[in-house]
Structure formats: C-alpha cells, structure tokens
Amino acid sequence: MINTYMQDDNISHARKLFDENPSSRNLVSWNMMMYAYAKHHQIQHAHDLFDQMPLKDVVSWNTMLSGFHRTSNSDGLYHCFLQMGRAGVPPDDYTISTFLRAVITYASLREEEVFKRVFDDILAKNVTSWNALVSGYMEVGSMGDAQTTFDMMPQRNIISWTTLVNGYIRNNRINKARSVFDKMSERNVVSWTVMISGYVKSKRFMDALKLFVLMFKSGTRPNHFTFSSLLDACAGCSSLLTGMQLHLCVIKSGMAENVISLTSLVDMYAKCGDTDAAFRVFESILNKNLVSWNSIIGGYARHGLATRALEEFDRMKKAGFTPDEVTFLNVLSACVHAGLVEEGEKHFTSMLTEYGIQTEMEHYTCMVDLYGKAGQFDKAENLIKNLPFEPDVVLWGALLAACGLHSNLQLGEYAAERIRKLESNNPISYSMLSKIQGEKGIWSSVIELRNMMEERKVKKQKAISWVE
C-alpha cells in the first residue's frame, strides 16, 4: 500500500499508513518513506526519519546524500558522507556517482577548496572518485589542475579519458580534446559520440562527419545519440545527400523507430530544405514528443511556410502537448515570415497568460522584427521601452533591418548607434545605415560613415542577416 501511494506522490497517505502500522515497517519501507520526502525537497522530514531508523543500509545513506544534493545543501551532504564513513558503511557506485554530481555543485560555486577536501576525505579512493575530481576541475575551468589530476591517477579507465575529452570540449578547447581523444588506447561508442558531438557544438560539421568515417572503420556501432549528432552536422552544413545516407544507416541499424533518431532526421531534412521529407519522417514517429513537434513547426517556419507551421501548432495542442518557449519561438518566427501581426500578438500574449512561460530576448526580438517589417514602429519602440532587460545586438539589428526596409532614417540611426555601443566594429550596422542614407539621398552622411568605417578598420559585410 505504501508503494502505491509513493507512485501517486501522496506522501501524507503513505506516512499515515507508515505510522499506523509500526509492526510492518522494514528497511525497505523506511527507505521508501525517506526517499519520498527527499524527492519532494522535504529534507528535514527525511533526516528525522533517517535518525529514527533502527538499521541503515547503503541505500539509506545514498537516499540522504541524494536528498542533500537535490536541495543544494552542500554542508549536509558533506557531513552525511563523513558520517557514512565513520559508521563503517562502504560507499557503492551510486554513492560515488552522487558525489561526482556534488563535486560539480561545489565546483560551480567556485568552492575549489571544498571539493578538494571532499576528495581527500574519501577513504577508499577508486577510479570513479578520481574521475569526479577531474570533472570538478573541468567544471570551473581549472584546466591545468584537471590535467595534472588525470596524470596522477593510479588507474584510468575509458570513462577517465572520456571525462577529460568532454571537459576540454566544454571549455571550448576542441583541438586539445581531439589530441586527448587520439591518445586513447581504446574507445567505445560513448567516447566517439562525445568527440563527434563536440565538433558539432563547435560548428565544425565536416570534422564531425570525417570522424564518423573513422568510427565506422573502427568497427564501433553508433547509437541513436551518435546519429543525432551526425544529423545535426548534416543540418549545419546543409549536406542533404550525406543526411540521406545516414537515414539509410539509421534504418539498417534497427533504430528507425527511435524517437531521438527520427526527430533528428526531421530537423535535418527541414534545415536542408526538404520539408516534404521532414513531414514524412515526422508522420512516421509513433511516439511523438514535444521536441518532434518543435522540429516540424520550426522547419516550416524557417522556410516561410507559416500556414503549415501554425496548422501543426494547432494539431500539436489538440494531441495534448503543451508548448514550451521553443515552440513559441518557432510560432512567432512563422508569423514574422508571413507578416501576421495580430496572430503574432495573440501567441506572444498567450505565452504568459495561458501557459505561464516567461518571454525571453528571442521572443521579444521576433516581435520587434514582426512590428518593424509591418512598419508599425510605434509598437516596436514601445515594446523595447518596456523590456525587462537590456536589448542585445540581435534585437537592435532586427529593428535596424526593418528601418532599412522602410527607409526610417531617424530610428535607424538610433538603432545603429545602440549596436555600435555594444559592438563598436559591427559591420552590419554601418552597411545598413549607409543604405538608408543613400536611399534618402544624404550622400554626405554616406561618405562620412564610410570614412568612419575605414578609420575603425571595419570590414564591409556582403550579406545581412539578423534573425534566423
């Protein structure tokens, strides 16, 4: 019965049964009750039960450690770990895994001395605890300490090497990551995928595809995460042919029903311009998720197919899915392409009023772009004045582009000035403002602006694109 209420997250009923039947309590029921409190951030209740337990096992200690970590209570977690050692309970892999996440918590708070002390207090250091220290150093960007710790490790496994590779990737040192990767004596699908994904994140799409060829030759079978990263690479470099070849690989690998692989295929086909293929793959997904819907809506929006994008948005809601901030970004983008001002306003307002989603800079940028392209500069200015944060270059750029479209010199000069304050050598602001001045026939200002570009060594921008 307690287990039934645990599944329903009904703690009060579970606790009532627990209290009313003391004779039926066993170690499992104690641990389950404590876990329920910890899961719902009621760490004090969990701790009270923990203190009352007549007998504790490693699961009991792990539950408390996880609870302290869940509530960001670093002191509680640290002291609980010390007490576990004093009680003579040896940590298992889950204990160390929890501590790995805790080490990263300490690292993110820049408490390097704290997580060093935590590491020193681990009596039975194993390869997992060493990996945790390397990961912690990487988290705070202490690359030298991470490498030194790695070099000092008495024993390394494939996770150690992969942790180091991933750390360099996260710290934007992709070439160093590849150097470490090349030194690995053995690699598994995870290490290959981490390196391929690193190239994709660094927008080195061809390097990601070339690495996959080496992976294929090594005999390592890719998984759906590998294919997802590779399809992202194809989308990034608009390589439709390679993407189609990967589609065949997905089918041959028996992953044609995997939602992650199929969603990546939808995204790839859409970004490569084949929206019909994207839709066919999307329709083949039996268990669609929100990411799948976002991919097809975004694909249509990206290619100016606003009606199709909005139709899929309505179909998504009818299917019982709740939109998120990415969904609305795609919907607003569709409205921008089609010039649907009222439709865009409706969805922008519904984000907070109907779904409780906070509007972010990208959503405001879409609205500025929407108003600007429609020539409704009063609305655009009013929106900018009431922003809850400072506008960024992209938002000002959207306004400047609209000013160029409608030859609005006064507002265009203001937007260009704001861009130059944020990025003094941004070439697009000069090019767009020069275009507006030329259309107005103010050639003295055009010459003055070009002289300023030469003085500041600003390179001319051939293509102008602010909002994707």
Query: Residue 11 above 80 pLDDT?
Result: no
Confidence tier at 281 by pLDDT (50, 70, 90): very high
* Across 61-65, 132-136, 196-200, 458-462, least confident range: 458-462
For the chain, what is the mean pLDDT? 83
> Which whole number is the average pLDDT over 85-92?
80
Confidence tier at 270 by pLDDT (50, 70, 90): very high
CA angle 338-341-345, nearest 5°? 125
Element containing residue 165 per DSSP (H, E): helix 158-170
| 8 A C-beta contact, residue 115 and residue 140 | no
Confidence tier at 60 by pLDDT (50, 70, 90): very high
Query: Residue 270: CB partners within 8 Å, gap ≥ 6?
Result: 235, 278, 295, 296, 298, 299, 300, 302, 303
pTM strictly above 0.75: no
Report pLDDT for 101: 62
- In 21-157, which ranges are continuous DSSP H helix? 27-39, 43-52, 58-70, 74-86, 93-108, 112-120, 127-139, 143-152
Give the residue, 302 or 462, on which the prediction is more confident: 302
Structural domain boundaries in the chain: 360-468
The string of pLDDT tens digits covering residues 303-326 is 999 999 999 999 999 999 999 999
The Cα 285–Cα 260 span in angstroms is: 10
Query: Residue 220 above 90 pLDDT?
Result: yes
Closest to 383 in 3D by CA, of 406, 402, 405 = 402
Query: Residue 439 above 70 pLDDT?
Result: no
In the chain, the percentage of residues whose pLDDT exceeds 90 is 50
> Which whole number is the average pLDDT over 279-286?
94
Report pLDDT for 435: 58
Query: Residue 383 above 50 pLDDT?
Result: yes
User: Looking at domain 360-468, which of 1.20.120, 1.25.40, 1.10.287, 1.20.58 is its CATH number?
Assistant: 1.25.40
Q: What DSSP string describes 394-405? A: HHHHHHHHHHHH
**Rama region for 110: left / alpha / beta (φ>0; ψ in -120 to 50; rest):** left
Is residue 282 helix, strand or coil? helix
Give the residue, 413 or 266, on which the prediction is more confident: 266
Query: Residue 430 above 60 pLDDT?
Result: no
The Cα 243–Cα 264 span in angstroms is: 10
Query: Residue 391 above 80 pLDDT?
Result: yes
Confidence tier at 179 by pLDDT (50, 70, 90): very high
- In 354-426, which ranges are continuous DSSP H helix? 361-373, 377-385, 393-406, 409-422
Report pLDDT for 427: 56
Report pLDDT for 431: 61
